[in-house]
Amino acid sequence: MPFGSAQDKSQGDGDRRNLKPEKGLGPPRGRDGQGRHCRLPTANCQLLLPLLLLLPLPLLLAASAPADSTSLFPLEPRAYLLGHFHPDTSAGFVRLPERLSGEQRHWLRAEAARDLERLVAAAEAQGVWLYVVSATRTHNRQRALWEARFDGSRTSMGRNLLELFPDEGQRCRALMRYSAPPGLSRHHWGTDVDLNSLSMAYWESPAGRKALDWLEAQAGEYGYVMAYPAGRRGAGPSYEPWHWSYQPLSQPLLRDFQRYVTDSEIKGFSGAEQVRLDWRKFVFGVNESLK
């Protein structure tokens, strides 16, 4: 299945050579006469100081504060992390081109989509075909998937959990090994994708093994990490060779998740009471490199 390619158009830092001093403006940009760093000529600094003193103190503090991780959020943080939005009308999201997802409509954060295109093009150049079968999911979509598996109208990894686990608590715990509860899916963030197939039989086939070997060796160069590798300790979904996460965004988002999301947001779906007992273990039961 052929795919197109995309080039990385990132730019360097530019020329960092010291500039010659202008007459009457003090030491050159770079270092002053005593070897200390100086961003502006001395005369300019003397002119700016009185202006800075006129600014309100809160504005000065805000200007000097380090960038906050909320800059990662394209909309209100809690709504974003829980999936209460529509990616097709939200800033920061782009629709994946057909060469990555066929006729399916899949959306990702723009940064994640850019590097995913580069990843797919690099794989194609080495004879490995990759395509997206799932990307951003809203809270409503995740709830529909959860409820269908919880009530037995849809199987989970080929098993009818309603028949296997009549007790709702046991059924909920079993389902969390294969599906994320609404509000706790990494797919809400627009940083994670499922590739090629959700069937373990595919990933154990020669074609699947070839794709997986390439991803494990090369995906990290494009920012992508397997979210749920084999051999993890603790809670969280079972091994998912198809689930890959864009680390530059998803890692800081995970660190902020507990800051914005509380027990009170875990509601509105079957088994929510059980999920509230273990949701933090579930959310943080990921690849160590994503924490």
Segments in the chain forming alpha helices (H): 42-53, 57-64, 77-82, 98-101, 110-125, 139-150, 161-164, 168-175, 200-203, 206-218, 247-260, 272-283
CA–CA separation, 26 and 40 (whole Å): 9
Tell me whether residue 86 is in a domain: yes
Same domain for 55 and 130, yes or no, is no
Q: Copy the structure tokens of residue 45.
A: 């600094």
Number of domains in the chain: 2
Same domain for 52 and 194, yes or no, is no
Tell me whether residue 16 is in a domain: no
> pLDDT tens digit string along 133-168?
999 999 999 999 999 999 999 999 889 999 999 999
Same domain for 139 and 249, yes or no, is yes
Same domain for 269 and 229, yes or no, is yes
> Are 180 and 227 contacting, i.e. CB atoms less than 8 angstroms apart?
no
Q: Check residues 8 and 285 and name the one with the higher pLDDT.
A: 285
pLDDT for residue 239 is more than 80: yes
Tell me the pLDDT of the chain averaged across its residues: 82
What is the reported pLDDT for 16? 33
Q: Number of C-alpha atoms within 13 angstroms, CB side, residue 125?
A: 9
> Are 96 and 107 contacting, i.e. CB atoms less than 8 angstroms apart?
yes
Same domain for 46 and 86, yes or no, is no
CA–CA separation, 111 and 116 (whole Å): 9
Same domain for 171 and 272, yes or no, is yes
- Domain span at 74: 70-290
Tell me whether residue 119 is in a domain: yes
Assign 232 a pLDDT band (cuts: 50, 70, 90): confident
Same domain for 47 and 149, yes or no, is no
Among residues 45, 65, 85, which one ends one of the domains? 65
The single-letter DSSP state of residue 257 is H
pLDDT for residue 49 is more than 80: no
pLDDT for residue 47 is more than 60: no
Residue 103: count of CB within 10 angstroms of its CB: 5
Tell me whether residue 228 is in a domain: yes
Same domain for 78 and 52, yes or no, is no
Tell me whether residue 4 is in a domain: no
Same domain for 108 and 251, yes or no, is yes
258-263, Cβ contacts within 8 angstroms, sequence gap of 24 or more? 258/283, 260/77, 260/78, 260/81, 261/78, 261/81, 261/82, 261/183
Assign 236 a pLDDT band (cuts: 50, 70, 90): confident
Same domain for 198 and 180, yes or no, is yes
Among residues 19, 49, 65, which one ends one of the domains? 65
